[in-house]
Chains A and B, each alone.
Chain A
Amino acid sequence: MPKVEKDGDELEVDLTDTEINQIQDLLQRGPTITEWGMFDVMHSEHCSYKSSRPKLMLFENAEENYDYVLAGPGEDAGVIDIGDGYCLAFRIESHNHPSAIEPYHGAATGIGGIIRDVLCMGVRPIALLDPLRFGPLKGNPHSQWLFKYVVKGISDYGNCTGIPTIGGEVEFDESFESNCLVNVACIGLGTIEDFKHAPSKAFNPGDYVILMGGSTGRDGIHGVTFASRTLTEMSEADRPAVQIGDPFTKKMIIEATLEAVKTGHVRGLKDLGGGGLSCALSELTGDGGTGGNIDFSKIFTREPGMNSFEVMLSESQERMAFIVKPEGLEEVLEVFRKFEMAHAVIGRTDDSKVLKVRDGENLVVNLPAVALSDAPTIPRPEKRPDYLDELIAQKTPEPNIELDEIIYQLIASENICSKEWVYRQYDHEVGVRSVLKCGEGDSGVLRIIGTNKFVAASVGVNSKHCFLDPYQGAKGGLVEVCGNVIANGAKPMAMVNCCNFGNPEKPESFYFFSKAVEGMADFCKELRIPVVGGNVSLYNEDEVTNKLIKPTPVIMIVGIIEGKENIVTLPFKKSGNEILLIGDTKAELGGSEYHSVIYNIEGGIPPKVNEQAVKATWDFLLELYNNHIIKANHDVNKGGFIITIAEMCFKNKMGADLDLKDCNTDDLKDDELLFSESVGRFVVETSPDDIEEILKIARKYGITVKKVGVLNSNSEINVKGLKKKDIKLDLNKMKNLYDSTIPDLMEI
């Protein structure tokens, strides 16, 4: 890494030579060491999105194109107007690198960070969701260790802050063995007034700048630049760059911040996350078109003797910066005193458009505010890896075990089995809003007290599909996650994403990112889903083994259900009711769990998305919901629709008699029919009386709906109409396998 120098102090920076020259040209002088450190952080991939920004421009402008979007990408969180005077703020972020090094604190501070992002929109955080990815657990103590402590980190931190964890997903794959993915999402609820009180900019000269919360310590210095490098064996030595979380202080910050915002005297609000004070102050003043005068000596530190470099770059957790009207200063400080929160007035804004930090006589920082927040982009070349053709050409071997045995193996596989071991450790009910709790639906559903509205939220993506075809895989992720909220009766309102990819400097890695973004942008434009925020985590690549993670553009969808009567749940309910499969099943076994669990192959033809059909299916379902003729709904996902049916049987101890003869119009092989992961399908339950009407509506929308069987109450799935022979599945056995996989691996 290049070195910069000032007055005898040296600093290694992650900046390129071009960037170093640009900075010197801009300032017409050599920056101080503190300034160099600030540029280093603000120009890091994590803060500046310098590799990803050109691609992210493909997303249509959410604020311009959707009147209910109040804040879009570029803000700390996306915000949408949901009517009745309320708004929702939400965001998703990665905390992959810290969690790979120190899973407990890495995951905990990930939660801490995402809570702050939502809080600084002026609203109360009301839900967390956590998409996680690890190496396979079986026979792998390292993966078990990461999994156990990431979950514990989320549990200890999230539970203490009083924010329920209402959903998430877990994928296990060898590519995540040394680079686990810990993504964290948060949803906030507030009035539109609350939101308007808390812009994340300082637009008025003469306002006070207050720092509130935890003290500034030496932890986490250069956490951001660390997240923008690949992990190496040396990373163990980076452990001090992982911050330590304090959920109790976070809880107090939430309450003190919300009460301060209620005073009406707060004019700007920003959390201190990656890049610490440098990032927060330069963004506040840069975006607000003001400048600032900060007195370094006022910043309260955890230990004496910290220099300006350390203070400006510290990523100590649990800190918020407030911009406060002069006339309201006393009232806001009184709130902080009540909650016994440490705070200090550290300076004032001015109209200089320059950010100045003084240490006594010395001006340690003197930078044009926009210089820091406007990092240049770097165009990255991309190249489709040649090995993909070979992978996609892989054929499904002939099954050498019986179909029922395959299904038992699938239901017990790490990616399909129950994740109850995880969500039992999360308080998913605090806040008294959780209407559909973990395990009860495809999404988490929260009520909005005082209205007849419900929020449904889900996260996910299929990284195996994305690996074979990132463009289609990313679209498939959207179909799946939108499908999750639709399955529970919601209309998808907006999307945020968290792009986890490899080293952007390698064209073959950058290809996956590039195509996944194109896929998401095209799909969202077509289906009219605003993209209101995102986060990019690159460099998820192991330098030593050269192992690249499977491309993982995690998608989060927030939807709205109008009226309690319109909530649809997952479990089958009544013996004698009919089971319908909605959508087309194709010979798409590429990247399926069937391929990986049974044959240990990753290739094959991955699912392809047909936007028109997806749109028609969604509209069709919403019409059925209006008629209240759907008793249960679950989207078809990993393992194919036979797994979907089993999952729907479990809760109420139902069974099913299936006849698939008429279902197989495309002359699929038995395994293709049962285990294909074609996207955009749903399994629904309905009364026999309503079948004709459903089929009539289906014809109107031009979509495929097949009767696949009837519910029974004897805990068996009987499958007839296959090409080879009938099968019988014991649901008690399936449930035991489904429930015991993770506890058996983790509780030793």
Chain B
Amino acid sequence: MTIKIAVIQFPGANCDLDTIHVLNNVIGVEASLIWHNHFKESEFDGCVLPGGFSFGDYLRSGIIAAHSPSIDEARIMLKDGRPIIGICNGFQILTEAQFLPGALLRNESLKFICKWVNIKVENNQTAFTNKMDNGDTLAIPIAHGEGRYFTDKLKELEENNQIVFRYATEKGEITDEANPNGSMENIAGVCNLEQNCIGLMPHPERASEEILSPNKTTHGKLFFESMIEFIKRRTS
């Protein structure tokens, strides 16, 4: 069987082509760029909500895209247990659409931040982390103005193992210095209860090729390879 992945193109998405490039040329999987109004969940095994500024992030980041018809389609996918990942703006959309808990607020510095950070893997049981080990640190860049994670259900998330990544030092220590945006408990990414949907602020598609990484790492590939693995396990 051929695995088919949709990268949903909201108006204003800007990491859509980057994600397609990595899926097609680096991972070697069939991924299609799908205009948000044309998305039909039945045609795909999983989907990616890429980074960018959907609908200009007007009103509030991700809120308008969260009301796109494609999100109704994605909700069917979610219930069905197929993998969904929201990267950066995609994460903001998934929280607004309540696929994922919490919200992303303005960075503590009130400024956009573009830099390479390290994140520590806290849950390797999700659809996008099964190729990682708990405690691994991944080198990966962030680029956002509104990435400060907030939730009023912290305890619940911890108990349910829904915190997937935390910002950390290179050695994996969870410190204030390693927290680039003031996220609660250094949270960089979370998943739903069923663990088939995750969202994170850092950009795996920018960390998937040696030539783009300051230390020649390719940790971003693990996300997509895990996704493929998850789809294979589900369908076999």
Contact = CB atoms under 8 A, between A and B. Distances in A.
A661 to B, nearest CB: 37
B114 A427 contact: yes
Contacts of B22: 432
B102 to A, nearest CB: 23
A599 B21 CA distance: 54
Given A425-B114, A430-B143, A160 B209 contact: no
B212 A430 contact: no
Contacts, number: 86
A681 to B, nearest CB: 28
B18 A252 contact: no
A251 interface: yes
A429 B212 contact: yes
B111 A248 contact: no
A434 interface: yes
A429 B53 contact: no
B50 to A, nearest CB: 10
B52 interface: yes
Contacts of B211: 435, 447, 564
A248 B56 CA distance: 5
A431 B209 CA distance: 13
Nearest to A341: B11
Nearest to A252: B11
Interface in B18-62: 18, 21-22, 25, 35, 51-53, 55-58
A246 interface: yes
A432 B212 contact: yes
B209 A424 contact: no
A449 B114 CA distance: 22
Contact of B111 (A246, A247, A425): A425
Interface string B207-218: 001011010000
Contacts of B52: 162
A725 interface: no
Contact of A427 (B11, B13, B17, B112): B112
Contacts of B153: none
A340 interface: yes
Contacts of B14: 160-162, 251, 430
A339 B37 CA distance: 10
A159 B143 contact: yes
A155 interface: yes
A252 B21 contact: no
Interface residues of A, number: 33
Contacts of A564: 211
Given A162-B52, A248-B53, A252-B11, A431 B18 contact: yes
Contacts of B145: 159
B83 interface: no
B206 A429 contact: yes
A186 B212 CA distance: 21
Nearest to A437: B214
Contacts of A447: 211
B15 interface: yes
Interface string B130-144: 000000000001010
Nearest to B54: A248
A724 interface: no
B96 interface: no
Which of A424, A429, A447 is the most central at the interface, judged by chain B CB atoms within 10 Å of its CB? A429
Contact of B11 (A339, A428, A435): A339
B12 interface: yes
Interface string B186-214: 00000000000000000101100101101
Nearest to B180: A424
Nearest to A447: B211
B111 A252 contact: no
Interface in A232-255: 246-249, 251-252
Interface in A161-180: 161-162
Contact of A426 (B35, B51, B114): B114
B113 interface: yes
A432 B56 contact: no
A155 B112 contact: yes
B171 to A, nearest CB: 17
Contact of A432 (B21, B35, B53, B57): B21
A434 B11 contact: no
Nearest to B25: A449
B38 to A, nearest CB: 9
Contact of A425 (B56, B112, B203, B205): B112
B12 A429 contact: no
A152 to B, nearest CB: 8
A162 B56 contact: no
Given A162-B14, A430-B15, A564-B211, A248 B114 contact: no
A338 interface: yes
Contacts of B209: 432
B114 A432 contact: no
Contacts of B114: 423-429
A432 B214 CA distance: 13
Contacts of A156: 112
Nearest to B111: A425
B21 A247 contact: no
Contacts of A425: 111-114
B143 A427 contact: yes
B115 interface: yes
A607 B7 CA distance: 54
Nearest to B18: A432
B57 A160 contact: yes
A249 B53 CA distance: 11
B11 A340 contact: yes
A159 B112 contact: yes
B212 A435 contact: yes
Nearest to A246: B56
Contacts of A249: 56
Given A162-B52, A432-B205, A432-B209, A424 B11 contact: no
Which of A155, A246, A427 is the most central at the interface, judged by chain B CB atoms within 10 Å of its CB? A427
B58 A248 contact: yes
Contacts of B143: 159, 427, 429-430
B113 A162 contact: no
A250 B209 CA distance: 29
A203 to B, nearest CB: 32
B53 A160 contact: yes
A431 B18 CA distance: 6
B115 A424 contact: yes
A431 B205 CA distance: 10
A339 B35 CA distance: 9
A262 to B, nearest CB: 14
Nearest to A747: B109
A428 B212 CA distance: 12
A343 to B, nearest CB: 15
Nearest to B109: A747
11 contacts: A160-B14, A162-B53, A248-B12, A424-B111, A425-B113, A427-B112, A430-B15, A430-B18, A432-B18, A434-B212, A435-B212
Given A155-B111, A160-B56, A427-B143, 16 more contacts: A159-B143, A159-B145, A160-B57, A248-B57, A251-B11, A424-B113, A424-B114, A427-B112, A429-B206, A430-B14, A430-B18, A430-B51, A432-B18, A432-B22, A435-B211, A437-B214
Please give me the 6 A-B residue pairs with the lowest Cβ-Cβ distance, nearest first: A162-B14, A248-B56, A160-B53, A432-B18, A427-B143, A425-B112
Interface of B: 11-15, 17-18, 21-22, 25, 35, 51-53, 55-58, 111-115, 141, 143, 145, 203, 205-206, 209, 211-212, 214
